[in-house]
Chains A and B, each alone.
Chain A
């Protein structure tokens, strides 16, 4: 299959716009969130225009149709990540809520005082803070597997930290600040050899790495729709059924029950028991459209194309005097974090923006990574399916402008 870049760019209305008057937008902040294709926008719009209705409740037509569409997305997610039971797919507000759900529900049942939870040094704050909060509450201990100066997890150190006290490993599949694609299969196998379950934060992986939860054999996996060309405020948690069945929900409300009396409430089974309240129905349906869109292009094609951009961007930036790349792992996705001389990344970001080039400047919600590299922040260019080599050239030209201002 050929990669139809022109068609893909036409699918995303936001790609072809001018900003600051006359500057063509070069959007390189895809690791923060991706643009949405017309195919997703129209599904969302049609839902709000004609199909709005609550799910799992009504006997009327619109409610039944909304329920069918909502539940059909569970099947799409199932196929997309290779699991075989819809009860294993829980819709959440995103990766963050999914991790908090595991920290609370799995944590409360299986982790207690003195037990250990293992993460890595390159985690997003959303895979650090929920565990710190849990540890503070229970006296469990958070352990951190270190990274090296390329941005790879030091696997020997990781394996040493898998002890008979470790109750859960929770690790990022793809780093949002370094671009590292972690060798998660081996890391999961190592944990399993000691009977330790593993949660994967796949927020950054989902649009660029094919995911098969059966092959990976992870116990939990979370992702958000908004980094997958879908709406914000919605995402998924996959959990193995035999574990989910044993967990008590941490949020109560409508839709998650079988029966409520003032004496006793019995919970529904998974996934309903973890989806209290009216969910983000439109968002879930939009996420389904996003999955269809990505599937129509093919994750393998996306990965191949983005790798071309990564190679080109890495070479282009390396050729500029005074550039320092942060994150040079063995296996990377199309994320390039960089510094220019001693210019602060915010100043880089503002000057690039004035040239029409949108990047992220900051700590990327990975402050421990910044601490590892002893930098306050980095500039980060992150590429997606609609970016072009011309976008890389625009980035390089805008970087030269930064050097001009800060000579």
Chain B
């Protein structure tokens, strides 16, 4: 497969160009900041979690490469409407997938469109790009006070 068939698929290019849920939430119930100190990617993730534990709104803001931006954008779409528990399960599945520990075609998962990143393990330097926003979301849900880093 060529790099544009594997890494820069149309879905990723589209979400890079037109990121969904891009921007800030002024008074979110949860937020965290994520860095990749090696490359300078920098995002904030904002989440509004209701008293019933359902994530009603998610936004992200910041700068980074096409992979990190598309991943953040697809993540927001995947978790809006989910419970915190479900979002955390999805994080675990996504994380396992990008490390090639879960095959979305064979293993049980609810990744859906997120499977677009299933081939990223072939580009080890880019795994962290795909995972950054997810780690940041996870930190936000855990109410982490420290910035999240990929290192």
Interface residues of A (CB under 8 A from B): 343-347, 350-351, 354, 361-363, 367, 370, 376-377, 405-406
Contacts and interface: CB of A to CB of B under 8 A. Distances in A.
B3 A346 contact: no
**Chain B, interface residues (CB within 8 Å), range:** 20 to 34
A377 B13 contact: no
A377 B66 contact: no
B116 interface: no
B65 interface: yes
B65 A346 contact: yes
Contacts of B39: 346, 361-363, 377
Interface string B2-33: 11100110000100000000000000000000
24 contacts: A344-B65, A346-B41, A346-B64, A346-B65, A346-B66, A346-B67, A346-B126, A347-B66, A347-B67, A350-B3, A350-B7, A350-B126, A351-B3, A362-B39, A363-B39, A363-B40, A367-B40, A370-B40, A376-B40, A376-B41, A377-B40, A405-B3, A405-B4, A406-B13
Contacts of A347: 8, 65-67
* Most B C-beta atoms less than 10 A away, residue of A347, A354, A361, A363: A347
B2 A344 contact: no
B129 interface: yes
Interface in B91-144: 123, 125-126, 129
Contacts of A346: 39, 41, 64-67, 126, 129
B8 A362 contact: no
A405 B67 contact: no
B67 A376 contact: no
A405 B8 CA distance: 7
Nearest to B129: A346
Contacts of A376: 40-42, 63-64
Interface in B41-72: 41-42, 63-67, 69
B14 to A, nearest CB: 12
B129 to A, nearest CB: 7
A367 B38 CA distance: 11
A310 to B, nearest CB: 26
A143 to B, nearest CB: 25
By DSSP majority rule, is chain B's interface helix, strand, loop, or mixed? mixed
* Most B C-beta atoms less than 10 A away, residue of A343, A345, A363, A405: A405
Given A345-B65, A346-B129, 20 more contacts: A344-B64, A344-B65, A344-B66, A344-B69, A346-B39, A346-B64, A346-B66, A346-B126, A347-B8, A351-B3, A351-B4, A351-B8, A354-B2, A354-B3, A361-B39, A362-B38, A363-B40, A367-B40, A405-B8, A406-B8
A356 B2 CA distance: 12
A350 B126 CA distance: 8
* Most B C-beta atoms less than 10 A away, residue of A343, A350, A363, A377: A350
Contacts of A367: 40
Contacts of B123: 350
Nearest to A377: B40
A376 B64 CA distance: 8
A352 to B, nearest CB: 10
A195 B39 CA distance: 40
A345 B65 CA distance: 7
Nearest to B8: A405
A285 to B, nearest CB: 32
Nearest to B42: A376
A405 B40 contact: no
Contacts of B126: 346, 350
B72 to A, nearest CB: 13
B54 to A, nearest CB: 33
Contacts of B65: 344-347
A353 to B, nearest CB: 8
Contacts of A377: 39-40
Nearest to B3: A354
A406 B4 CA distance: 10
* Most A C-beta atoms less than 10 A away, residue of B39, B42, B125, B126: B39
A354 B1 CA distance: 11
B17 to A, nearest CB: 9
Nearest to A343: B66
Contact of B40 (A343, A350, A362, A406): A362
A362 B69 CA distance: 16
A362 B64 CA distance: 11
Contacts of B4: 351, 405
A405 B13 contact: yes
- Smallest CB-CB A-B distances: 9 pairs: A354-B3, A344-B65, A346-B65, A347-B66, A405-B4, A376-B40, A405-B8, A363-B40, A347-B65
A373 to B, nearest CB: 13
Contacts of B42: 376
Contacts of B8: 347, 351, 405-406
B31 to A, nearest CB: 21
B87 to A, nearest CB: 26
Nearest to A367: B40
